Amino acid sequence: MGRSTVGRSALLSSVAIVAMTVGAEAQDPQDRGGVYQLGEISVSGAGQGGGGVGGSTVTREETWTFEKNTLEQAVNLVPGVVSTQSTAGQRNETDIFVRGFGRWQVPLMIDGVRVYLPADNRLDFSRFLTNDIAEIQIQKGYASVLDGPGGMGGAINLVSRKPVKPYEGEFMSGATFDNRGSFQGWNSYAMVGSRQQDFYVQGSANNLNQDFWSLSRDYRPYRAQGPYAGSLEDGGRRNGSDNRDWRINFKAGYTPNATDEYSINYIKQVGEKGAPLNVYNNPPSSQNSYWRWPAWDIQNLSFASNTQIGDASYLKTKLYYNTFYNVLSAFDDITYTTQSNNGRFDSYYDDNARGGSVEAGTELIPMNTLKAAFHYRQDFHTEWNDNRPTSPTFHFTEPKQNQSQATWSAALEDTFHVTSNFDLVGGISYDKYRIDKAEEYNNAGFIYEYPKGGADAFNWQTAAIWRYSEAGQLHFSVSDRTRFPTIFELYSQRFGTAIPNPNLGPERATNYELGWKGRVAPDLRGSAAIFYSDVRDLIQAVRLNPSQSQTQNINKGDFYGFEMSLEAQLSPQLVLGGNYTFIERNVSDVSVPGFQPTGVPTHKAFLYASWRPIERLTITPSLEITSDRWSDVVVGTQAQNAPILAAFPDPYIRTGAYTLANINLNYKVIENFEVAGGVKNLLDQNYELAWGLPQPGRTFYVKARATF
């Protein structure tokens, strides 16, 4: 296993590094850095002390220093990765793009177990908290076939913490305030654990409670001539911006010797959220847009093990059972009190998955490392609507509709150690899925079943890794991977406007990367990569007649770009660093005139300094910079929206360019207690990531952390 750490600030992480290295000689290799190693994903070519094929890692200290409390905020710290607001604004979801690939092509995992929503996989990355995460692994372009199917554009893995001391704990609490000084919400975290000679136990709880966030003072409600009544958002506190999320994590492990480990891990996260309305549309588009999520819950129970077999081989296993429970409520109007009109509902998703994997590896031949893995997973999706629940006349509840699918993958990876400093890696896998059940409810009041679908795919990848010095590495990789369609893409009729396609095939991309990381000078280190992706068989809705479309594999595209990071230790008290990404995406589309890929800026940069004027005080200013990005324009056809249609006549618009200035001050009161405070969006910039969805203005925060 290996992790890329290029771009991590040495000074920002100094407190954590000191804590980890004190007494390191007495620590078991299993206790490295408090990272739950059984939850890490594979990093190809990392077995001989190198960092493997390109990727990035976000650490706990970085999320603390830069006040990144949720996943979509944290990933913006590294090059090649950007978060954005879903253009379907009524869903209030964030998405993450890794070198241009979004949530459908880049699987998300928690401790190596995939979080997958079989209905549509519309993950909302804002629901995933970071305080109990040891590190965020991000593989870009090249994700090992050993980790299972779906890594068409990379992979993201949240690795939880594990205790390293006989007795340890951490407590954190913080509060946020808007640009008018009003209290917005609070964030807290608590962890206790114990690492003994043959076992460890740990429990933690993380909570984020936000009553609202506020818009920039520069925001002005949209106005138009004619019958338009004005924006539904008047500024100040953003309507529908509340959310509440908490997560608990328990684990227990048995470590009979220095190499073997057996662990049970339980994670439960519970969320609820509002959905701010598009500020241009009034009435909203569609009028069925007054949505809230009273439940957005995930649960994961897993067993993981690592067993050394002799001196040269190992066996890893993983078993898991996870659930997803989601409730979407559609209301009549902006009061969010009644659900009586036609098309209003409480929509329920109740999903579960069970599966496992086994991985074996051997170095029986000194110059060769051979690994094999097998994954199997079953997903079960149940949905139903409670329609017009507050109507005394038309209220009725649909019967439950069930869908299920099975997915499996067999993979083989071989690393040939040409020399002690040069590796050649090759991997292949065969992935297959089938739909076992596909029920739907029709207007006549009957449940029927769609034709069952399925597909298979062969994947391959290869890499060359040259570690030309202790700190320097060059690598070149090619990875050809696929992504299977979701149930939504296969069967959704989109309220009668689409025709199902059970024969829909997988998407495919061939990703190329040439990368470097190392030291330019003793106090200057960095990384760089150029990348290109040949994307084929992209899934897109094709217009079959004036009123209906069908999802088909019709598109192809080219994603390409460059990324780099640098960090300079200018003095014992001052570090400067940052990263930059350039990316272009060209997608040919035969069904949507003027189609533009949305959500990804052409240019993105993150710059920071860490200055320690006195021993206990660290001041960390930073800048987050992006160019504009394409966004969908979704305007209703109601007569009241005619001025909006006139103002925004094209289906796509460029929006979202911004420069956010932030600052954090951290003061270490005593060895085990520190306080911090800062400002995000210091200049109170008014900006949008998606059309009609402005983002938070200036935000103040204070927090404290105690460890023992």
List of domains in the chain: 14-707 (2.40.170.20)
Distances (CA, A) of 379 to 191, 323, 404, 473, 586: 32, 10, 6, 40, 33
CA–CA separation, 701 and 175 (whole Å): 6
Q: What is the pLDDT of residue 431?
A: 98
How far apart (Å, rounded) are the C-alpha atoms in residues 196 and 30?
Answer: 12
User: Is the predicted pLDDT of residue 395 greater than 90, yes or no?
Assistant: yes
**Polymer length of the chain:** 708
Please give the Cα distance from 259 to 286 (Å, whole number): 57
The mean-pLDDT minimum among 11-15, 33-37, 240-244, 361-365 falls in: 11-15
Q: Is the pLDDT of residue 629 over 70?
A: yes
> How would DSSP label each residue in 251-302?
EEEE--SSS-EEEEEEEEEEEEE--PPPSS-SS-SSS---EEEEEEEEEEEE
Over residues 382-387, the mean pLDDT reads: 96
- In this prediction, residue 47 carries a pLDDT of 52
Q: Express as a percent the part of the chain with pLDDT over 90.
A: 77
Answer yes or no: are the C-beta atoms of 30 and 450 closer than 8 Å.
no
Q: What is the pLDDT of residue 226?
A: 43
Average the pLDDT over each of 405-414, 448-457, 561-570 and give the range with the smallest value.
Answer: 448-457
Q: What is the pLDDT of residues 197-251, one digit of tens each?
A: 999 999 999 999 999 999 999 998 876 554 445 678 889 999 999 999 999 999 9
Region of poorest pLDDT, from 105-119, 139-153, 544-558? 544-558
List pLDDT tens digits, range 653-678: 998 899 999 999 999 999 999 999 99
Nearest Cα to Cα of residue 117 among 238, 362, 288, 297: 297
pLDDT of res. 637 = 63
Per-residue model confidence (pLDDT) at position 27 = 40
Q: Residue 536: what residue type? A: R
Mean pLDDT of 323-349: 95
Query: Per-residue pLDDT for 642 more than 80?
Result: no
Give the pLDDT confidence score for residue 444 in this predicted structure. Answer: 82
Q: Which residue has the higher pLDDT, 471 or 546?
A: 471
445-466 per-residue burial string, b: 16 or more CB within 10 A, e: under 16: eeeeebeebbbebebebbbbbb
- Mean of the per-residue pLDDT values of the chain: 90
The pLDDT value given to residue 227: 40
Nearest in space to 184 (alpha carbons), one of 241, 222, 107: 241
pLDDT at 11 over 60: no
Reduce the DSSP state of residue 92 to 3 states and report it.
Answer: coil
CA separation, residue 590 to residues 493, 501, 505, 538 (Å): 21, 18, 18, 12
Q: What is the pTM of this model?
A: 0.93
Residue 28 confidence class, pLDDT cut points 50, 70, 90: low
Q: Which amino acid is at 88?
A: A
The reported pLDDT for the residue numbered 222 is 76
- Per-residue pLDDT for 3 more than 60? no
**Which residues partner with 458 through β-bridges?**
430
Residue 644 has a pLDDT of: 77
Phi, psi of 521 (to 5 degrees): -150, 170
pLDDT grade for 6, boundaries at 50, 70 and 90 = very low
The model's confidence at residue 25, banded by pLDDT at 50, 70 and 90, is: very low
The strand pair at 401-419 and 447-449 is best described as: unpaired
Which pair of structure tokens corresponds to residue 451? 């034709």
> In the Cβ-directed half-sphere of 408, how many Cα atoms lie within 13 Å?
6
Q: How many other C-beta atoms lie within 10 A of the C-beta of residue 534? A: 15
Sequence-distant (≥ 6) Cβ neighbours of residue 500 within 8 angstroms: 450, 490, 491, 492, 493, 550
CA 388, 94, 666, 176: dihedral to nearest 10 degrees? -30
Least confident span in 72-86, 377-391, 431-445: 431-445
Q: End-to-end CA distance of the chain, in Å?
A: 29
pLDDT of residue 540: 84
Band the pLDDT of 20: cuts 50, 70, 90. Answer: very low
pLDDT in tens, 578-605: 999 999 999 987 677 788 999 999 999 9
Residue 49 confidence (pLDDT): 43
* Average pLDDT estimate for 522-547: 91
Rounded average pLDDT over 271-282: 89
